[in-house]
Structure 1
Amino acid sequence: MSQNKDIESSIPLNSMPRASDLDVDLNNGERLEVKISEPRASGNQPKKIVIPAIVIIPIWMACSISVILYNNYVLNTLNFPFPVFLTTWHLLFSACATRVLQRTTTLVDGAKDIEMTRDRWVRSILPIGALFSGSLILSNYAYLSLSVSFIQMLKAFNPVAILLISFAFKIQEPNSRLIMIVLMISTGCALAAYGEIHFEMFGFLCQAGALVFEASRLVMIQILLHGLKMDPIVSLHYYAPVCAIINACIIPFVEGLEPFYALHRVGLLVLFSNAGIAFALNVAAVFLISVGSGLILTLAGVFKDILLITGSVLAFGSHVGALQVFGYSISLGGLIMFKTTGGK
């Protein structure tokens, strides 16, 4: 869950990736060195592990696609229409898993470099976590009424939302290139929405709201956490507990006790495997941003989205018209321009 934005629209999971679409922020051009502790005969020095791009990119793509299709399967096919509960469960699982990794590996060692004071937590982590929670909940509600393929097309609009909010906060100044990108992506998404046969206004508004929350979160991270470097696992370490608590407070008002009565439809195996795959995506994201250039990662994200749309058509019978394909192609062109220019 989703931890899915389409990281999307990703990864980003495209940051702590969404539960429904846990994507990596492919704009991150830094190279990270991932270390995992392995016992040795002397010194117990951590062994540095770098996974080749040819290996980690397919793993990341498989995890990202699996998370989105699996969430759709749980919410719709298994008739478990409780996205807030499912999101809360994913976040609780992630909060526990990151703390296990912190004690058993060096994957979460980045948290040691961050001085997390009470003031910083209240002023930065809490509001960003609230935005993240809203993004997760709304994005998963969209899956109840929209097809996976259509949602992925809408996620292409995320860079536009980021740019518009950045303009509003005067983080970036409009220029001809950015205006052209905004027009390309907006036109493509409009054509994709116009060509959608099974259009549902409620789902569309939920996905639009999720994009606004996610874009606001990314901009707030740039403003409030300027200079702090958080990879997806460290982000999960700080944000997952906050979001889980916020979501848990929302459950009684929007879903009540019904999710607990309906747990037999899902079962423990599905619950744990679903949350496990979502968390595995975040681990894969750590290795992903340490390999390849920004262009390679962007193209991988685009290819992943195309595979996901194709997979949703085959797995769930989603209909994709020629007009949608044309509109989405225009959006992808704008998205690639946005990613390869660093959003400038």
Structure 2
Amino acid sequence: MTYAAESARMDLMNAGLWTQCGDDLSTVAVFLVGCTSWQSHMACPVQFLCRGLRTVGLVLLYYVFSIGITFYNKWLMKGFHYPLFMTLVHLTIIFCLSALTRRATQWWTGKPRIVLCWRDYIYKVSPTALATALDIGLSNWSFLFITISLYTMTKSSAVLFILFFSLVFKLEEPNPFLIVVVLLISCGLFMFTYESTQFNLEGFIMVLLASFIGGIRWTLTQVLMQKAELGLQNPIDAMYHLQPLMFLGLFPLFLYNEALSLSTSEKLFRVTELSPLLYSLFTLSIGGSLAFGLGFSEFLLVSRTSSLTLSISGIFKEVCTLLLAASLMGDKMSSLNWLGFVVCLCGISLHVGLKTYYSKNKGPSLRQLSSKGPELELPLLRQNGDEREDSAADDYNDEDEEQEITLH
């Protein structure tokens, strides 16, 4: 009798089950297999409960940064009327935090991070950086004029421009359902802004222009991140390479619009005491940290769950933002405005559903192919124990559909 069989026999004797099973080793083997199967079935609910709790935690983390930075920008603009300077400070902080994260990753893995050559950096990255800078700059600028609810709804129209430019760049295939998506979102936006008591034309045009540029931005971002030869599939590397060019692209607009008034403002350069200056720098640094945390939390959510989870979470995030704006900021919305919001959400939900349906019929996604490269791994996300847990869970429920670019 082998050592394993003898150990099993002793365990059964101690449990008083040996007399029922007898001395037949085949009976012992059957019993042990049954016990193993029972244990595996018991482990599955616990495993997927942990997976569900992890997903909820990541979604909540994403909500904290995404909703937090929206309300932060609106709050800061009430007393600090320099949105372009604020954006430049945020870009600087994001670049520094991205560089630190890359350095920590390189130290952890012992492998160098991707660094683009100047030719690729100028010709392939700069268009995306310029579009991103204008999108963020105009969005922050609009907070001087409009409410959070109007900003949230108008920015949702970016889906229309993303669809348009995706068709232009042939990233999307023409589909009759896209007409329904466009009509739902357009009608919803019209109903939301119709006879709104807190409507501001200047701010609305700024956000609408930002949404238009955002369509170019996210289309170019998708093209940029899907070029495997560039190696920018990891958003930390993408943020690191984009921020300097974004700073340079937005700086001339800052010089033209805000530099003179900021140089004579008591908020920064004409302070008479040190404490107001430190307070201004501290409040600006909070926004930069929130912006970096937003990008990182999106990456965490997509890499640990799926892009579908991020898209659906973004839909409910809009609902939470409007409810909080109505309760905390006093934004006023009529029944027609709420109906328009629901119609717009239906259009966005249909778009997400169509993306999910058609991505199932495609081959392996970019994320699936590129995630096997060690230079793209982020050790903060995948520890050894988590890898074994995720591989077992993914066999049960595969969520690796095509990674789409979503706007939040």
Aligned CA distance change for structure 1 residues 106 and 324 (closer, same or farther; 3 Å): farther
Q: Which residue of 1 aligns with 2:164?
A: 164
**In the TM superposition, what whole-angstrom CA distance separates every residue of 1:271-309 from its partner, at most 9, and x where no partner exists?**
222222222222222211123344433232122111111
Q: Which residue of 1 aligns with 2:85?
A: 85
Say which is worse superposed, 177-186 or 187-196, in terms of deviation. 187-196
**Preserved CA contact (<8 Å) 1:102 1:108:** no
Tell me whether 1:312 sits opposite 2:321 in the alignment: no
Task: Name the SS for the 2:145 alignment partner.
Answer: coil
Tell me whether 1:146 sits opposite 2:146 in the alignment: yes
Which amino acid is 1:139 matched to?
A: S
* Alpha-carbon distance, 1:91 to partner: 0.1
Q: Which residue of 2 aligns with 1:249?
A: 252
**Preserved CA contact (<8 Å) 2:298 2:310:** no
Tell me whether 1:324 sits opposite 2:324 in the alignment: no
In the TM superposition, what are the counterparts of 1:174-213 in structure 2 within 5 Å? 174-213=174-213
Q: Which residue of 2 aligns with 1:220?
A: 220
**Preserved CA contact (<8 Å) 1:108 1:233:** no
**Preserved CA contact (<8 Å) 2:102 2:236:** no
CA distance in 1, matches of 2:224, 2:65: 30
**In the TM superposition, what whole-angstrom CA distance separates every residue of 1:308-329 from its partner, at most 9, and x where no partner exists?**
1111122221111111110111
CA distance in 1, matches of 2:281, 2:123: 37
**Of the candidates 52, 55, 67, which is equivalent to residue 53 of structure 1?**
55
* Alpha-carbon distance, 1:126 to partner: 0.9
Aligned CA distance change for structure 1 residues 310 and 217 (closer, same or farther; 3 Å): same
Calculate the TM-score normalised by the size of structure 1: 0.78
Structure 1 or 2: more helix by fraction: 2
**How many matched pairs?**
292
Task: Name the SS for the 1:320 alignment partner.
Answer: coil
Task: Name the SS for the 1:119 alignment partner.
Answer: helix
Q: Which runs of 5+ in 1 are unaligned?
A: 1-50
Q: Which residue of 2 aligns with 1:238?
A: 241
* Larger Cα-atom Rg: 2
**Of the candidates 70, 76, 100, which is equivalent to residue 68 of structure 1?**
70
**Of the candidates 337, 345, 348, which is equivalent to residue 335 of structure 1?**
348
Say which is worse superposed, 259-268 or 162-171, in terms of deviation. 259-268
**In the TM superposition, what whole-angstrom CA distance separates every residue of 1:198-221 from its partner, at most 9, and x where no partner exists?**
211111110111011111012223
Aligned CA distance change for structure 1 residues 212 and 316 (closer, same or farther; 3 Å): same
**Of the candidates 295, 298, 313, which is equivalent to residue 285 of structure 1?**
298
**In the TM superposition, what whole-angstrom CA distance separates every residue of 1:97-122 from its partner, at most 9, and x where no partner exists?**
1111122235998x957562222111
Aligned CA distance change for structure 1 residues 184 and 115 (closer, same or farther; 3 Å): same
Task: Name the SS for the 2:355 alignment partner.
Answer: coil
**Preserved CA contact (<8 Å) 1:294 1:339:** no
Task: Name the SS for the 2:98 alignment partner.
Answer: helix
Which amino acid is 2:301 matched to?
A: L
Which amino acid is 2:343 matched to?
A: I
* Alpha-carbon distance, 1:225 to partner: 4.9
Which amino acid is 2:235 matched to?
A: P
Please tell me the root mean square deviation across aligned C-alpha atoms, in Å.
Answer: 2.5
**Preserved CA contact (<8 Å) 2:72 2:287:** yes
**In the TM superposition, what whole-angstrom CA distance separates every residue of 1:158-196 from its partner, at most 9, and x where no partner exists?**
111111222334443432111111111111111111142
Percent of aligned pairs with the same residue? Answer: 24
Task: Name the SS for the 1:80 alignment partner.
Answer: coil
Aligned CA distance change for structure 1 residues 82 and 150 (closer, same or farther; 3 Å): same
Say which is worse superposed, 205-214 or 51-60, in terms of deviation. 51-60
Task: Name the SS for the 2:304 alignment partner.
Answer: coil
In the TM superposition, what are the counterparts of 1:90-101 in structure 2 within 5 Å? 90-101=90-101
Calculate the TM-score normalised by the size of structure 2: 0.66
CA distance in 2, matches of 1:334, 1:131: 25
Which amino acid is 1:163 matched to?
A: L
**Preserved CA contact (<8 Å) 2:58 2:297:** yes
Tell me whether 1:300 sits opposite 2:313 in the alignment: yes
Q: Which runs of 5+ in 2 are unaligned?
A: 1-52, 269-275, 359-408
CA distance in 1, matches of 2:106, 2:69: 25
**Of the candidates 271, 277, 283, which is equivalent to residue 270 of structure 1?**
283
Between the two structures, name the one with larger relative contact order (CA 8 Å, sep ≥ 6).
Answer: 1
